[in-house]
Amino acid sequence: MKQITINEQERNAVYKTIYNRRDTRGQFLPDAVDEAVLARILRAAHHAPSVGFMQPWDFVVIKDASIKEQIKAGFNEAHAEAAMMFEGEKRANYQKYKLEGITEAPLGICITCDRKRTGPVVIGRTANPEMDLYSSVCAVQNFWLAARAENLGVGWVSIIHHQHLRQVLNIPDDIVPIAYLCLGHVEFFHEKPELEKAGWLPRMAIEELTHYDQWNCKKEET
């Protein structure tokens, strides 16, 4: 069987996509997303890894402005609740950030997880049943990177209660909404995460997060 190897140029393209992917909130343009491009991105999401090849995801594509408005109302409510959870300056800063582009983005995509798909016993999910949720998150990441490779922006909006998404999108109670994503062309991509630029948090050093053999060994012995 012929093996597919990734050449240097292709490898560089993958890293370029990873490092230049951004969460997009305020830069969406109204231009429509080409249907063939959307189909490629959705197909990339569908080719994510999944526990026991369970493929627990579904994709709800939202174009209707009135549905987006209802989603936005759910964001507004959850956002107001969230602000009260921060104290002092943090609260003021939180309230200043733009954390969604729900109505501006031409498309909304809700990626879900059907926890019952393929039956009660799934290879790889026996010790840790939450692996199905992680699988749907893998689909989100594929979606995000494929969109970036198509030069489209994606914003993940998690400040909405699941029950609100279920109600507005008519999602059954036993299906878990994993991500509400805004998708569209963008004016520009930020070079760094907006929260980093705003001074909310810095990017952590990889050396601080890498452990060797056991949790308490941070530096590789030379």
Ligand X SMILES: Cc1cc2nc3c(=O)[nH]c(=O)nc-3n(C[C@H](O)[C@H](O)[C@H](O)COP(=O)(O)O)c2cc1C
Among 71, 159, 165, 175, binds ligand X (CB under 6 A): 159
Shorter beta-carbon distance to ligand X: residue 51 or 145: 145
Say how many residues touch ligand X, by CB under 6 A: 11
DSSP per-residue codes, the chain:
-PPP---HHHHHHHHHHHHH--B-SS-B--PPPPHHHHHHHHHHHHTS--GGG-----EEEE--HHHHHHHHHHHHHHHHHHHTTS-HHHHHHHHHS----TTTSSEEEEEEEETTTT-S--TT-SS-TTHHHHHHHHHHHHHHHHHHHTT-EEEEE--S-HHHHHHHHT--TTEEEEEEEEEE-BS---SS-HHHHTTS-PPPPHHHH--BSBTT--SPP-
Segment lying near ligand X (by CB under 6 A), choices 20-28, 44-52, 54-62, 82-90: 20-28
Segment lying near ligand X (by CB under 6 A), choices 22-30, 41-49, 50-58, 212-220: 22-30
The reply on whether position 143 binds ligand X by CB under 6 A is no
Mask 175-214, x = binds ligand X (CB under 6 A)?
------------------x-x-------------------
Segment lying near ligand X (by CB under 6 A), choices 44-52, 111-119, 150-158, 167-175: 150-158
Residue 16 beta carbon to ligand X: minimum distance, rounded to whole angstroms: 14
The reply on whether position 124 binds ligand X by CB under 6 A is no
